[in-house]
Structure 1
Amino acid sequence: MDISVVVPLYDEIESLPELTSWISRVMDDNRFTYEIILVDDGSKDGSFEMIRKLQLNNPFIKGIRFRRNYGKSAALNVGFEATNGDVVITMDADLQDSPDEIPELYRRIVEEKYDLISGWKAKRYDPLSKTIPTKLFNAATRKMSGIDNLHDFNCGLKAYRSAVVKNIEVYGEMHRYIPVLAKWAGFTKIGEQVVEHRARKYGKTKFGMSRFVNGFLDLLSIFFVGKFGKRPMHFFGMMGTLSFFTGLVITIWLVSEKLYLISHNLKYRDTTSNPLFYIALVAIILGSQLFLTGFVAELVSRNSSDRNNYQIGERI
């Protein structure tokens, strides 16, 4: 199979007929073999019933429904597991991504041997309250990840070699940083393509202001896991050692000072009345705890057995 199109959705019943018809038209015009995997993330507006109706007239449509809303990352992760195509395309269900971009994305993956092509919506139809934080996050992600050639990490329209989606795990809200996950997994040929951003035709956005806070926390998380996930002792041990020896040096200095004053019959004050004594004590205790945390982290796998265990109601 040439292409798998994965579409995560939540309450998008109005846009599904037009979206699936548009995708099929593009595929047929280019003679692609394909499948459309629609992942319903716990919709309450009858989106999955609409998927059933569309499937009657289009055998290339597949549907997956969650029992409740888990989030876009969960929908993508389950969708990736279900793909059979050589190239995987992801797009949002709100018709803001154009299926007309698919042939060029496919060509670049196949002919130019890219691992991942991320869309860049150079001209956006979003309010400033969304575009300004997005630019800040993208700049921070470029700096921390070292992927300097991407302008928009969070664009829903992306193309992947099949091996990429089968070897990364998208969880939490990490869908914003899939190019970073791909890089940490060893897929380093990552490119970008300017794509059309269309105004939303139906409904309203499902993402609130909390996504900016979550995005920042996820960025820190992915940076830590990517850099120290396989060697947590390097992080905790370094911090613990630094803290412990700082406290130790202060303690030695305080004791030496007191011994010097005693040996010269000079007036001295009790060590415990010196604020440095308590700073040294806290630094030693904190250093010991960080060091032990590093040992424990080395023993505990960062991949829990049920982190991506989602309750799927049915597959069709």
Structure 2
Amino acid sequence: MNTARTATPDVSIVVPIYNEFDNLTDLVERIAQAMAQQALTFELLTVDDGSTDGSVDKLRELAATRAWLRPVFLARNYGQSSALQAGFDRVRGRYVVTLDADLQNEPDDIPLLLQRLETDHRVDMVSGWRKDRQDAELSRKLPSRIANWLISRSTGVYLHDYGCALKAYRRPIIDRIRLYGELHRFIPSLAKEAGARITEVPVRHHARTRGVSKYGIDRTFRVILDLVLIVFFMRYRQRPLHAFGGLGLWLIAPGSLILLWLLVEKFMGHAIGGRPLLLAGMVLVLVGAQLVVAGLIGEMLMRIYHEAGNKPQFHAEEYQADTAAAPVQPAPAVTEIVA
């Protein structure tokens, strides 16, 4: 298939790349073969994230004879989230597919995900599930299982496999989310926040045969920190006062009771100046008050973000009747009355 760059494709496939020189030729050919199995036109955006192994030259060479291949080159290594966002900023298709460049994802499964989006209009995102993972290293399997359980329980988006890069989306969902830091692991959670209806389908998985894995067990600790951010983002982004102010009130309440008790003790003639309880009460009240003020500042910042930045507070779509299926009713006759 040779989709011209001037035509608008049906599917945009985004692949972040970092030092995958040995896999690039097979990757591009296998994606082309997979997409030739169905009628949708496509483009392939390969986003090189500052590779140093010759991947840039190889992508230029491959793109010279393939109009549907659109390489994107980042100035340096920014990370997978930035590479994906660079691709998302350039997609043109009504469907967006992502997968890794290491060929552990099976390109022939792409039509499976697209078929689900085409036939089930209640679904906005299809996430791959590597049901039979071929990773031999316990250092990858164990952290992945822990992360999947922890993220599902914390965000309410229950998936077996958050780490599978093979996913398909309707374009409006991609347009509503922004990736930064290392939030690529939480795309399903961000998609849910953007209103996506998500499903999961089993896909094939292969052991890496070329190149070097970029993941290690240290990733688990970064996932936990990012998870804290995602949970806060999903629950309190539009009401930060409920987060900070609520915690502040929980501190102010016992602090106030302590100070009230000490005041009673003072009226009864007991010395309270050297009691540690006095310091504890004052600290609780002061810290609680600071948290309430932080929540108020957060509310003002959110108001500025939405009003001055013209950012929507919600996403909605209006019902459109299926004009192709519904019979067209003739317009009522109009009689013109001339005075």
* Residues 154, 175 of structure 1: 8 Å contact kept: no
Structure 2: how far apart are the matches of 1:111 and 1:208?
A: 38
Q: CA deviation at 1:100?
A: 0.6
* Residues 173, 195 of structure 2: 8 Å contact kept: no
Structure 1: how far apart are the matches of 2:275 and 2:78?
A: 53
* Residues 125, 198 of structure 1: 8 Å contact kept: yes
Of the three residues 162, 171, 177, the one matched with 1:168 is 177
Larger deviation, residues 122-131 vs 160-169: 122-131
* Residues 140, 216 of structure 2: 8 Å contact kept: no
Q: Give the letter aligned to residue 119 of structure 1.
A: G
Structure 2: how far apart are the matches of 1:185 and 1:164?
A: 6
* Residues 41, 69 of structure 1: 8 Å contact kept: yes
* Residues 130, 161 of structure 2: 8 Å contact kept: yes
Structure 1: how far apart are the matches of 2:263 and 2:35?
A: 78
Larger deviation, residues 34-43 vs 137-146: 137-146
Query: What secondary structure does 2:89 align onto?
Result: helix
Of the three residues 152, 155, 160, the one matched with 1:142 is 152
Q: How does 1:1-16 map to 2 (within 5 A)?
A: 1-16=9-24
* Residues 101, 195 of structure 1: 8 Å contact kept: yes
RMSD: 1.7
1:111 aligned residue: 119
Tell whether 2:125 aligns with 1:124.
no
Q: Give the letter aligned to residue 131 of structure 1.
A: K
Q: CA deviation at 1:170?
A: 1.3
1:276 aligned residue: 277
1:185 aligned residue: 194
Of the three residues 81, 85, 101, the one matched with 1:73 is 81
2:327 aligned residue: none
Map Cα deviations across residues 208-266 of structure 1 (whole Å, 9 max, x no partner). Answer: 33321111111110100111111111111111122122211110111112323x3xxxx
Q: Answer 1 or 2: which has greater helix percent.
A: 1
Of the three residues 199, 202, 206, the one matched with 1:198 is 206
Structure 2: how far apart are the matches of 1:290 and 1:93?
A: 45
Q: How does 1:1-316 map to 2 (within 5 A)?
A: 1-113=9-121, 114-126=123-135, 127-148=137-158, 150-187=159-196, 189-260=197-268, 262=269, 268=270, 270-301=271-302
Structure 1: how far apart are the matches of 2:249 and 2:273?
A: 24
* Residues 177, 190 of structure 2: 8 Å contact kept: yes
Structure 1: how far apart are the matches of 2:37 and 2:129?
A: 24
Give unmatched runs, 5+ long, in structure 2. 1-8, 306-339
Map Cα deviations across residues 30-84 of structure 1 (whole Å, 9 max, x no partner). Answer: 2331100000011111111111100112111001111111111111111111111
Q: Give the letter aligned to residue 161 of structure 2.
A: D
Query: What secondary structure does 2:176 align onto?
Result: coil
* Residues 95, 168 of structure 2: 8 Å contact kept: yes
Q: CA deviation at 1:161?
A: 0.6
1:307 aligned residue: none
Map Cα deviations across residues 105-134 of structure 1 (whole Å, 9 max, x no partner). Answer: 001011112110111111112211111111
Which structure has more relative contact order (CA 8 Å, sep 6+)? It is: 1
Structure 1: how far apart are the matches of 2:250 and 2:104?
A: 50
Structure 1: how far apart are the matches of 2:165 and 2:35?
A: 19
Structure 1: how far apart are the matches of 2:78 and 2:215?
A: 13
Structure 2: how far apart are the matches of 1:123 and 1:156?
A: 15
Q: Give the letter aligned to residue 192 of structure 2.
A: K
2:309 aligned residue: none
Structure 1: how far apart are the matches of 2:193 and 2:144?
A: 22
Runs of 4 or more above 4 Å deviation: none
Structure 2: how far apart are the matches of 1:136 and 1:18?
A: 32
* Residues 251, 277 of structure 1: 8 Å contact kept: yes
Aligned length: 296
Structure 2: how far apart are the matches of 1:291 and 1:32?
A: 53
